[in-house]
Structures are given as C-alpha cells and as structure tokens.
Structure 1
C-alpha cells in the first residue's frame, strides 16, 4: 500500500502536469460518475492529504482518489500511448494539451464539491507531510486508546495521516519497542519520539525515488526490518521475524524490540 511519502510524490507529479491547465479530456470510468463532463475546466491544484489525493477543479469540484493496495497515477505526454497497465485497469483519464494523467486500479474515485472535502478527509489526524502537522496532537491521538497495540495505533489514519505498513514496522524498531505492546504501556518519552521520527522519515523520503530509513549504505539495506524476515538485524544480528498484527503483516527484531510478540508461523499470505 502506498504510504504518505509515495502519495505526496504522486500529487507533485499530477500537480506539475495538470495544475493551471484546461482539461481537453476527462473520463471517469466508474458508473456513478461516468457521465460527468469536466472538459473545458481548469485544474486548480492537486493536494495530498495523508494517503488521499484531492484534485481540485474549476467550478468548485474535487476529484478524490485513494490508491489503497496497488492503485497508481501515471502521466504521459498527450498523444502518447499509456503503458502503466492493461487498458481495462484505467479508472480515470485527465488530459490537457501537453500532459495526460491515467489512474490505474483506483479502488476509490469520486467527484464531490470542494466544500464537502471534509466528508472524506475530515476524520484524518495531523498530516505528517501537511501544513497542519501538529506533533503534540498526533502524540495525544496515538495514546487515545491505551489498550490498543502500537502497530494498530500507528496505522490508524485518525491518529497520524500518512503511515503505512512499512513505516509502522520501521518506527516500532527505531523506538525499540514491540509493535504488539499496548500504547498505554509505552514509556512517557516514547510517543513524542515516535511522532517526531515519523515526521523526519517521511520528510526525508518524500524527495527520494527509493525509501530509506537506515543510514548504512550497504547494498540491500535501505530498511531495518521490513521485508527482511530471517535476515540478521542490522543492529544486533538476531534474525528478523514476521507475523500478522490485526490484518497486516509486521516485521520486528526480537533482540532489539522486547515485549509481546506475534505468531510468526506465517500461515496466511502477507498483506503488503
């Protein structure tokens, strides 16, 4: 699933291609909005909000999309054949004289009034890459349900908007706590450090083509634990383990992250 930095990059590409230009092609391939005609309207801006994309269009309209597990927006010069996937996977086309954006495999695509954006993003917590970032509020929300596991609390977009499965695992490792530990049992200094680290990592990665949370430059080591099941921890050498926490796969180092652990039998396929 794309995380906040990936969505931020997608918004930047779309904004550069579409903002300030009039649409000469607009095709929303979902039944509810298939007849909507956006041609002749200018795209005002493309704004990320956590994992959501808001494409604002002249006339008080917003095209809301969410990439979920494998959605993507691809931009090509107008007139060039797109090659981001089979034609039947395209859910949206927005084009001007110079550039055309194609939305592939978009599970969420809806056209709404810009004034009603709060209906789809109003419940989100502070956006790690947004102008509303508030570390104190993010830490408060993270602790709002003391019995909830750290991993689940980090993934809840009502607490912090923008964290996905990769950052969940990496943040728990960097805080040296088990992702299965209830947040109410965290030491007082941990929540502020967690949200500060989350903000730092997403800010650092929003301009990188490849996500990195480590400082080592050895090949194959951009991340501490995510995707490294069975490989030695970069810090202590203990084999990294993988298990499911809720409905999402989690990676952790038993040596560096003491506390409760998950069932690492891997009987179900991971939801990466």
Structure 2
C-alpha cells in the first residue's frame, strides 16, 4: 500500500494537472456515484491526510464538495494532457475527470466517495495528525499523546494505526524504528524519546517527498536500512536482518529489523521470526 509520501506525490500530480480547471466531463464507475455529473465544477486543489486523497471542488451553483479517494493496495491516479486517450486500462478506471487542460483517471481505487467539504472532519476526524501536513505544535502534542496513550502496546501496531498518526506504512515503520534503534515488536515504552522519534520520522518522510522515493541511508544504491532486506546483512553492523508479523489480528503486516542494532525485542521473539519472508 502506498505510504504518506507516495500519496502526497500523487496529490501533487493531480494538483498540477487539474487545479484551477473547470471539469468538462466526469465519469464515476462506482455504483454509488454512477449518476453523478460534475461538469462545470472548478477543481480547487488536491490535498492529503495521511494515505487519503482529497480533491476539493466548487460546483457551478457554488457547492463545495470533496472527492475522497484511497489507493488501498492496488490503486493509482494517472494524468495526461487534454485530448489524450484516458491513461490506463479502461476496465480498471473508477473515476475519469476531464478539463480543457488535462485528463485524470483513478484506477482500481479502493475507495471513492463524494461529500460536502464541510463534512471532511466527520469522515476523517478519527485519523491522527498527518506527518506531511502543516504540523503545528498542537499536532505534535496530539500525535505524542496518541502514541504514548498505551505504553504497553506493540510499537509496530501503534505506528501502523492511522488513528495514532497518519502516513506511516510498512516502509516507514521499519526504517524509522531502525534509525531510532528500537525493535518494532517492542512496546511503545521502548522508545527512548517519543517526541524526537515523531519529529525525525516526519523529517524522513519530507526528505522522501523531495527525493521522489525513500532514501533513508543517504545512498541511492542501497537506499533502505532494513525494509525487505530479510536474510541480508545489516548495512551498519553486518548482522542478518530478520522479519516478522506485527499489527492487529487479521491486519498483520510484515516488518523488518536488525537484532543487534535494535535489541529491544526479547531474544525469544527474534528467534521465533528469524528468516520469515
């Protein structure tokens, strides 16, 4: 599933293609919006909150609406110049937006819904602060409070919970925990300085947004420390990277860590997942 920085890049691409344009044709290929016609609506901007895409529009009669989409595991948005054939397989298209400037197609989107912009808080208010949002002092304090609310909760489970903080997926879980020196299977209380952890992780996502992809090591030839590197040697100490499952029951995800650089996990837990792919 795309993570916060990848979703933000998608939003920026949509924003460049459509912002300020008036829609000349729309096609919603999901049952609940099949009869919706947004011709004449102006695209105000596309923003994100964590992994959620929010395309805000103003209709010809002045209504402000938000097109809320989520890529889930397989979705994407593609754009092309106006007059071009809609990009991507037609069978995969869930949303098509056309203007005199460009065409944007949402492919295999996991979620498509339309609601008044004034209701955004009702729809997304359960999410934690967005690591790639404006991030005020209040956001930082709220994220810290949510993260540390249950010190005994498994760290990796807490970080993947978008209600705690929005934008972290499996890449940033693994890489941020490595840089912090904390095993993702350890409890939240293992973080030595949770506020510093959150600030550093935010900087890592911002750097990935600028670079166009995660490069946590500083070396594009070997861009990540542990993510998907199980059975390979740690770039820092040479210990073999291991992998294991973390997350709420039924929503487990694979994560990765170095047993030497991230020693907070009990030895038995590390042995129990050594070599898992």
Higher relative helix content: 2
- Correspondent of 2:264 among 259, 264, 271: 259
Once the 2 structures are TM-superposed, how far is the Cα of residue 266 of structure 1 from its aligned partner?
6.8
Q: Structure 1: which 5+ residue stretches go unaligned?
A: none
Provide closer, same or farther for how the CA distance between residues 119 and 43 of structure 1 changes in structure 2, counting only shifts above 3 A: same
1:99 maps to what in 2?
102
Contact 2:72 2:110 in 1 (8 A): yes
1:202 maps to what in 2?
205
- Correspondent of 1:128 among 120, 128, 131: 131
Q: Distance in 2 between matches of 1:119 and 1:20?
A: 26
Q: Distance in 1 between matches of 2:274 and 2:35?
A: 49
Provide closer, same or farther for how the CA distance between residues 266 and 233 of structure 1 changes in structure 2, counting only shifts above 3 A: closer
Q: Distance in 1 between matches of 2:171 and 2:83?
A: 36
- Correspondent of 2:120 among 114, 117, 121: 117
- Correspondent of 2:75 among 49, 71, 76: 71
Contact 1:14 1:46 in 2 (8 A): yes
State the aligned residue count. Answer: 263
1:57 maps to what in 2?
57
Pair 1:138 & 2:143 matched: yes
Deviations 1:11-67 (A, max 9, x none): 111111111111011111100011011011111111111111111111211100011
Contact 1:91 1:105 in 2 (8 A): yes
- Correspondent of 1:180 among 185, 194, 198: 185
Provide closer, same or farther for how the CA distance between residues 208 and 216 of structure 1 changes in structure 2, counting only shifts above 3 A: closer
* Secondary structure of 1:44 counterpart: strand
Contact 2:242 2:274 in 1 (8 A): no
- Of the structure 1 ranges 178-187 and 99-108, higher mean CA displacement relative to structure 2 is found in 178-187
1:229 maps to what in 2?
230
Contact 1:9 1:207 in 2 (8 A): no
Contact 2:80 2:103 in 1 (8 A): yes
Once the 2 structures are TM-superposed, how far is the Cα of residue 161 of structure 1 from its aligned partner?
1.0
Once the 2 structures are TM-superposed, how far is the Cα of residue 78 of structure 1 from its aligned partner?
2.0
Once the 2 structures are TM-superposed, how far is the Cα of residue 265 of structure 1 from its aligned partner?
6.2
Contact 1:147 1:184 in 2 (8 A): yes
TM-score by length of 2: 0.90
Deviations 1:77-101 (A, max 9, x none): 12222443x2111110111012000
2:16 maps to what in 1?
16
- Of the structure 1 ranges 31-40 and 178-187, higher mean CA displacement relative to structure 2 is found in 178-187
Q: Distance in 1 between matches of 2:64 and 2:227?
A: 41
Q: Distance in 1 between matches of 2:275 and 2:83?
A: 46
Once the 2 structures are TM-superposed, how far is the Cα of residue 174 of structure 1 from its aligned partner?
0.8
Once the 2 structures are TM-superposed, how far is the Cα of residue 240 of structure 1 from its aligned partner?
0.8
Deviations 1:152-184 (A, max 9, x none): 111111111111110001111111111111113
* Secondary structure of 1:20 counterpart: coil
